[in-house]
Amino acid sequence: METVEIKKWIRDIPDFPEKGVIFRDITPLLKNPEVFKYSLNKIVELIKDWDFDCIVSPESRGFIFATPLAYIMDKEFVPIRKPGKLPYKTYSISYELEYGQTSLEMHADAIEKGEKVIVVDDVLATGGTTKAIKELIERAGGETVGVVCLAELTYLNPRENLKDLEIASLIRY
C-alpha cells in the first residue's frame, strides 16, 4: 500500500470534552480498513527491535491498537481497566488526565517478576496514563521497556513524565 497521510484520517474536535482541549478523534481512521491496517503495520515497524514479552494497554481506545499488535507480534496482552471491572485481586492507581481525574486497575497476577512490558495506547497526551500504568507494572515486579502510540501530543510534553522510557509515536502534533 502507498504511504498514507495518517493525520488526514484523524478528526480534530475543538473544545471536547471541555473548553480548550482539541480532541483527536480516531474514528475516521478506524472506519477505513486499509488505513487502520497501514497504521498497525507502521506501529509494528517502529517497535520491531524492542525486547519485550507483554503488551499492557488501558481501556478503551488503547485496546483498539493493543490487541491486534499482540496478535501480529505474538505477545501477551494485559488489559488495564477502569475501576470495578476486573474480577480478581487488583492493583489500583489514580492520576490526572488532560481533562480531569481518573483511576485504573490491573490484575495483581497479570505480570511476572522481571517480565519486560510495553504500553500501547492510541494517544499520548500528558503521559499521565502511561506513567500510572508504569507504576502498576512496577508494583507487580515487571519492567516497563517503553510506550508506543499512534499520536503524540507534543504540546502537552508527555516525555517530561516518561523520562526513563523508550517512546515511539507514528504521528506527532
- In the complex, the residues that contact ligand ADE under the rule CB under 6 A are 21-24, 97-98, 123, 125, 153
Q: Does 56 bind ligand PRP (CB under 6 A)?
A: no
Q: Looking at 52-152, which runs of residues are DSSP E strands?
A: 54-58, 76-80, 90-97, 100-107, 116-124, 143-152
Torsion angle defined by CA atoms of residues 91, 25, 156 and 67, in that order, rounded to the nearest 10 degrees? 40
Alpha-carbon distance of 1 to 24, in angstroms, equals 24
- Which C-beta is closer to ligand PRP: that of 59 or that of 76? 59
Site string for ligand PRP, 87-126 (x = CB under 6 A): ----------xx---x------------------xxxxxx
Picked from ligand ADE, ligand PRP, none, the partner binding residue 127 (CB below 5 to 8 A depending on kind) is ligand PRP
Rounded to an integer, what distance in angstroms lies between the CA atom of residue 173 and that of residue 6?
12
User: At its nearest, how many Å lie between ligand PRP and the CB of residue 93?
Assistant: 12
Identify the CA nearest to 116 among candidates 36, 35, 51: 51
Distance from C-alpha of 135 to C-alpha of 143, rounded to nearest angstrom = 10
Q: Which among ligand PRP, ligand ADE, none contacts residue 58 (Cβ within 5 to 8 A by kind)?
A: ligand PRP
4 or 97: CB nearest ligand ADE: 97
Residues forming the site for ligand PRP (CB under 6 A): 58-62, 97-98, 102, 121-129, 158
